[in-house]
């Protein structure tokens, strides 16, 4: 059966059938997936659980990867997975859910705010490829917002206003929003802000999108309160229900999203239940700001 993509979201997100991710992809399948990503921005595959090696082989068939080094509060000796993977589970290296008050957990639940992965890095992420190994009995959905549709729906005055803005992104900003400020001096240095443009143009389709993220805490040249109000207003606009697709996970699902064209957020779930999600990330082409 040939690879087929059917739209499932309100204005984006496609479900892919007719491809076996446990096997090496042929060139036609790789280009169909890239073309699907250009069009749908989020692609969903249902299937059997992939081993880490299979997940990585699939990822590398799509492009070069971004390493997950220095982006969480896990110490190197606490890692459950290699740094080829972003460990977005709630599990420690012994596969036990973090205690409620564990600062690694409190930092990690910042991903329940709308964001774009690695927007706090000078070269932000292209695709995120998230695979479900274990899911809680309830909650834990991932929601996606189509930032192209959000951009298109702005009025002309707002499009002019945001066109050349440059934002300051840092995990210090996103965590500060939820009252997590308990950082060491080393972490503060490591999470120092980077600049990102606010309007991105897709290199293939030419479509523009709003590049927002909870990591954005300032706009270059703007007073902070005014910048944060605009960022908040734009985020509220972009995450209206007509722009959002909710994914309800099943074990074995693999979801790819384009961080240049979408935002996403995780939803809450019972903390004592394991939610084992493993993410690989395709590196972006370069910084968004010269």
How many of the chain's residues bind Fe ion (CB under 5 A)? 2
**Tokens at residue 120, please?**
């706090």
The sheet carrying 194-197 orders its strands as: 194-197, 166-169, 216-219
Complex with Fe ion: residue 29 or 117, whichever CB lies closer: 117
Closer Cβ to Fe ion, 213 or 288, answer by number? 213
Q: How far is the CB of 265 from Fe ion (least distance, A)?
A: 8
Told to check if 117 binds Fe ion by CB under 5 A, we report yes
Please say which residue, 111 or 123, places its beta carbon nearer to Fe ion.
111
Under the criterion CB under 5 A, does residue 258 sit at the interface with Fe ion?
no
Per CB under 5 A, the segment of 6-14, 27-35, 72-80, 116-124 that binds Fe ion is: 116-124
Is residue 66 a contact residue for Fe ion (CB under 5 A)? no
Q: Which is nearer to Fe ion, 84 or 117 (CB)?
A: 117
Instruction: Tell the smallest beta-carbon distance from residue 1 to Fe ion (Å).
Output: 32
- Beta strand pairing call for 262-266 and 42-45: unpaired
> CB-wise, 262 or 288, nearer to Fe ion?
262
Chain residues 82-111 in contact with Fe ion, contact rule CB under 5 A: 111
Helix, strand or coil for residue 39?
helix
**Exposed/middle/buried for 123, CB within 10 Å: 0-12, 13-18, 19+?**
middle
Those residues with Cβ within 8 angstroms of residue 133's Cβ, 6 or more apart along the chain or in another chain: 49, 89, 251, 276, 277, 278
> Which residues ranging from 145 to 164 are in contact with Fe ion (CB under 5 A)?
none
Q: Candidates 76-84, 117-125, 225-233, 247-255 — which segment interacts with Fe ion by CB under 5 A?
A: 117-125
CB of 86 to Fe ion, least distance (A): 8
Please state, in angstroms and rounded to a whole number, the distance separating the CA atoms of residues 122 and 120.
7
Residue the block writes with tokens 């957990």: 105
Residue in 96, 50, 98 with CA at minimum distance from that of residue 72 = 98
> For binding to Fe ion (CB under 5 A), which residues are involved?
111, 117
């Amino acid at each position: 059966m040939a690879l087929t993509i059917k739209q499932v979201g309100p204005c984006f997100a496609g479900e892919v059938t007719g491809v076996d991710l446990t096997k090496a992809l042929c060139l036609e399948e790789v280009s169909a997936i890239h073309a699907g990503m250009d069009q749908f921005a989020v692609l969903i595959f249902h299937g059997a659980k992939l081993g880490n090696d299979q997940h990585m082989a699939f990822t590398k068939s799509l492009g070069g990867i971004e390493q997950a080094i220095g982006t969480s509060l896990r110490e190197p000796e606490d890692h459950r997975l290699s740094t080829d993977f972003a460990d977005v589970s709630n599990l420690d290296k012994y596969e036990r859910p973090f205690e409620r008050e564990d600062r690694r957990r409190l930092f990690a639940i910042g991903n329940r705010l709308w964001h774009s992965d690695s927007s706090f890095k000078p070269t932000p992420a292209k695709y995120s490829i998230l695979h479900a190994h274990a899911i809680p009995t309830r909650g834990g959905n991932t929601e996606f917002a189509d930032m192209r549709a959000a951009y298109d729906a702005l009025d002309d005055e707002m499009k002019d206003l945001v066109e050349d803005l440059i934002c300051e992104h840092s995990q210090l900003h996103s965590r500060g929003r939820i009252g997590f400020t308990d950082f060491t001096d080393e972490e503060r240095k490591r999470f120092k802000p980077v600049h990102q443009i606010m309007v991105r143009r897709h290199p293939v389709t030419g479509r523009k999108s709003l590049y927002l993220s909870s990591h954005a805490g300032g706009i270059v040249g703007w007073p902070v309160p005014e910048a944060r109000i605009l960022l908040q207003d734009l985020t509220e606009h972009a995450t209206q229900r007509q722009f959002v697709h909710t994914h309800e996970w099943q074990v074995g699902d693999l979801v790819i999203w384009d961080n240049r064209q979408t935002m996403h957020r995780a939803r809450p779930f019972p903390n004592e239940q394991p939610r084992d999600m493993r993410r690989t990330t395709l590196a972006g082409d370069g910084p968004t700001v010269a």
